[in-house]
Structure 1
Amino acid sequence: MTAISTLTRPTASGKQAASVEFRNVTKRYGSVTAVDDVSFTIEPGQLVTLLGPSGCGKTTTLRMIAGLEMVSAGQILIGGRDVTNLSAADRDVSMVFQSYALFPHMSVLENVAYGPSVQGASRKDAQAMAMEKLALVGLTGLEKRAPSELSGGQQQRVAVARALVLEPQVLLFDEPLSNLDAKLRRRVREDIRELQQNLNLTVAYVTHDQEEALAVSDRIIVMSNSRIAQTGTPRELYEEPADLFVADFIGDANILNGTVVELAGLRAHVQIDRLKIDLPHRGVMQGPVKLAVRPDAVLLNEGAAGPGEVSGQVKKASYLGTQIEYEVASPMGELFVVQYGRKEPIAPGTAVSISLDRQRGVAIVPGA
């Protein structure tokens, strides 16, 4: 019983949320390898994001979970059941597409009731199931409207309700917020996350937006060049990037050259120009290293540099309301810096002193 419970877990509806497992999965299109020997597990009830730039293989991976693409090699299991050779219709999964894919000639209610109707439910039962899911996504009262009469956010909710109505073991999202404006994206991603947690759904979520992935995910799988670059929690990926690609892709980072001058237990004493900083050594040896320094970990003060500081000059300042962004010239290279809570930007051309706050995000990048 213990082994089975790790593969499935009851959802709020009583149906089992399922694990998803890839075992050395490869997908080829002729001579092109879109996904190369990928292995991972999504635990029941978790939201895991596949994140990466265009062409990295994340959407192909999602489509293989759905059964819309068949694997060239390897094995896919859902809830411990081998579904590698099963069609999309024989897998208990639903997908929310980037384009929403709503039927324009059907009402909201008819769109959501379509799935149960196709599976043989009576019109009355299908509509009752649809009404329940529309209430769940906050669209009660809009049942008779056409999709064209809804906002983008409302259309996205209809697409989610239509995917939920069949109560799938696994719910898949393919760039679900890319057609929405910035403020609406934030609201809808919060809705999706709340729904996923309340219903204990297993979700695989594809995006190229790092902020979106950090906001909604239990775990993130970062893909690059058809392979997995790193898997971890949002905090692990942000604070402990496995390589330069992840460091640069997950949030903004200044990649600086430094030197490990001494190792002491799990710590490394690092010299960066005139700056000295103590960091977890992350397996590196003494000598040259690369460091990922987050923009808000670079501290600026107007005036000449003091002991243990580096001199710099503000090249550009941009006021963004809650924050001010700077480009700063320094002996360490050009720095991207973010300051929060400051009302007036430091004027371009101003001399500044530079120091680092390791608590805000400074990490040695292993193997760089």
Structure 2
Amino acid sequence: MSSISSLSRLSAAGTKQAASVEFRNVTKRYGNVTAVDDVSFTIEPGKLVTLLGPSGCGKTTTLRMIAGLEMASEGQILIGGRDVTNLSAADRDVSMVFQSYALFPHMSVLENVAYGPSVQGASKKDANAMAMEKLELIGLKGLEKRAPSELSGGQQQRVAVARALVLEPQVLLFDEPLSNLDAKLRRRVREDIRELQQSLNLTVAYVTHDQEEALAVSDHIIVMSNARIAQTGTPRELYEEPANLFVADFIGDANIVTGDLVSLAGPNAQVRLGAVTLDLPHRGLGPGAVRLAVRPDAVQIDENVQPGALAGTVSKASYLGTQIEYEVESPIGNLFVVQYGRKQPIAPGTPVAISFATLRGVAIIPEA
């Protein structure tokens, strides 16, 4: 998929209309353990929605219930408006790309991709033609005779995607699809998956525990914690307006600090943070102590310390090429700070003035 030159030409060919996915108060229990607890959400047709959360939060179980690989204990699951709660995986018109890829090692690339249509009764000629179309679509034409062991990790990932696409499902599911790839390849393949999803207007449910991956590929993100939904929103909403402490701490890096909400004026509030006063959306809170999420790149530090400024001291500096990361001791706590575009780090032990980009990356957290 790193060179999907034929994508636009083939995008309209032979693809079913995208379908919605809806969970209505769905619960999944394994004995006395509740893996998914009263979860409701909707994935709109043609959108990529990521289920994001730490291990054990219920995201993979939720994905498997969409696929029909697990059955709901309570509630309803609808795909394209049709109740599929009690239907088997074979009757749901969905395809899944597994974390392990699950390719057949004794089959060629072409045979792997053609396997699904063959099982569904297509002739060998038709199954191979369908498989070749998808292999061309994702940039693997010319590799169809190779064995999976002769491919790179990224190429194996693409074969798994082609095998899922060849059945032209209403919904495509990804279970941690990039976890077996190195960092540079993960970035390239996630861009390819996003381009493919948008060009083919696919409905995709995507599971990952990687926050950066979720922010990069998603139309919407469903953050899960302890078998429940902690927050649903666009990547920007989750990053800039976390609904609670868990989301603020889990989505990207955040400095969690305590300020004092001193007054309200319409939708905004004056919030005192040490020697600095910020004008922020109050998000439904009144005067008193409030928690704030402060993103590392929203903290600005300057060696020119003026009287009355919020002052701190650099305790650690790390040069990472495109950015410099600092740890700064301050009256409001130890802060993690990221600076871009600077070549020479501020030396540890240097006093600095601390300020904030209040329109970006600083938010009151409305719930504990």
Task: Give the TM-score normalised by structure 2.
Answer: 0.96
Unaligned runs of 5+ in 2: 1-10
- Contact 1:18 1:170 survives alignment (8 Å): yes
Q: Which residue of 2 aligns with 1:4?
A: none
Q: Which residue of 2 aligns with 1:3?
A: none
Work out whether residues 13 and 199 of structure 1, in 8 Å CA contact, stay in contact via their aligned partners in 2: no
Work out whether 1:351 is the aligned partner of 2:351.
yes
Correspondence for 2:333 = 333
2:94 paired residue number: 93
Aligned residue pairs: how many? 358
**Separation of aligned partners in 2, 1:14 and 1:61:** 25
Equivalent position SS for 1:257: strand
Q: Paired residue for 1:66?
A: 67
The AA in structure 2 aligned to 1:170 is V
Q: Measured at CA, do residues 12 and 241 of structure 1 come closer, stay the same or move farther in structure 2, by a change above 3 Å?
A: farther
Q: Which amino acid aligns with 2:346?
A: I
Q: Which residue of 1 aligns with 2:249?
A: 248
Contact 2:259/2:291 (CA < 8 Å) preserved in 1?
yes
2:313 corresponding residue in structure 1 = 313
The separation in 1 between residues aligned to 2:70 and 2:91, in whole angstroms, is: 13
Contact conserved, 2:293 with 2:364, CA < 8 A, in 1?
Answer: yes
Alpha-carbon separation, structure 1, partners of 2:342 and 2:129: 54
Q: Write out aligned runs for 1:199-348 (5 A).
A: 199-307=200-308, 309-348=309-348
Name the SS of the counterpart of 2:162 in structure 1: helix
- Native 8 Å contact 1:171 1:203 kept in 2: yes
- Provide the residue aligned with 2:170 in structure 1: 169
- Aligned mates of 2:18, 2:323 — CA distance in 1: 41
Cα contact 1:12–1:198 (8 A) shared by 2: no
- TM-score normalized with structure 1 length: 0.96
Match of 1:364 in 2: 364
Name the SS for the 1:349 alignment partner.
coil
1:73-93 per-position Cα deviation (integer Å, ceiling 9, x unaligned): 111000011000011111100
Query: Where does residue 50 of structure 1 map in the other structure?
Result: 51
| Residues 1:311 and 1:151: Cα distance change in structure 2 (over 3 Å) | same
Residue 23 in 1 paired to residue 24 in 2? yes
Equivalences for residues 5-16 of structure 1 within 5 A: 13-16=14-17
CA contact under 8 A between 1:105 and 1:146: conserved in structure 2? yes
Shift of residue 304 of structure 1?
2.9
How far 1:303 sits from its partner (Å)?
4.1
Q: CA deviation at 1:42?
A: 0.3
Inter-partner Cα distance in structure 1 for 2:266 and 2:174? 44
SS of the equivalent of 1:138 reads: coil
How does 1:38-187 map onto structure 2 within 5 Å? Answer: 38-187=39-188
Question: SS of the counterpart of 2:343?
Answer: coil
Displacement after TM superposition at 1:360 (Å)? 2.7
What letter matches 1:146 in structure 2? A
Q: Are 2:15 and 2:168, in contact at CA under 8 Å, matched by a contact in 1?
A: no
- Tell me how far apart the structure 1 counterparts of residues 101 and 307 of structure 2 sit (CA, whole Å): 57
SS in 2 for 1:197: helix
Write out per-residue CA displacement over residues 304-327 of structure 1, whole angstroms, 9 at most, x where no aligned residue. Answer: 3443x2111111111111001011
1:104-123 per-position Cα deviation (integer Å, ceiling 9, x unaligned): 00000000000000000000
Distance 1:242 1:12, change over 3 A: farther
The one-character-per-residue Cα deviations of 1:272-304 (angstroms, maximum 9, x if unpaired) are 111110011111101110000000111001143
| Structure 1 partner of 2:8 | none
Give the superposition deviation at 1:15: 1.4
Q: Which whole-Å deviations, capped at 9, do the CAs of 1:144-176 have from their partners, x for residues lacking one?
A: 000000000000000000000000000000000
TM-superposed deviation, 1:12: 5.3
Q: State the Cα distance separating 1:23 from its structure 2 match.
A: 0.4
2:35 maps to what in 1?
34
Unaligned runs of 5+ in 1: 1-9
In structure 2, distance between residues paired with 1:149 and 1:350: 54
Q: What root-mean-square deviation, in Å, do the aligned CA atoms of Structure 1 and Structure 2 show?
A: 1.1
1:13 Cα shift?
Answer: 2.9
- The AA in structure 2 aligned to 1:96 is V
User: Secondary structure of the equivalent of 1:229?
Assistant: strand
CA offsets, 1:41-72, max 9 Å, x none? Answer: 00000000000000000000000000000111
Instruction: Tell me by how many angstroms 1:350 deviates.
Output: 1.1
Distance 1:44 1:11, change over 3 A: farther
Tell me the secondary structure at the aligned position of residue 359 of structure 2.
helix
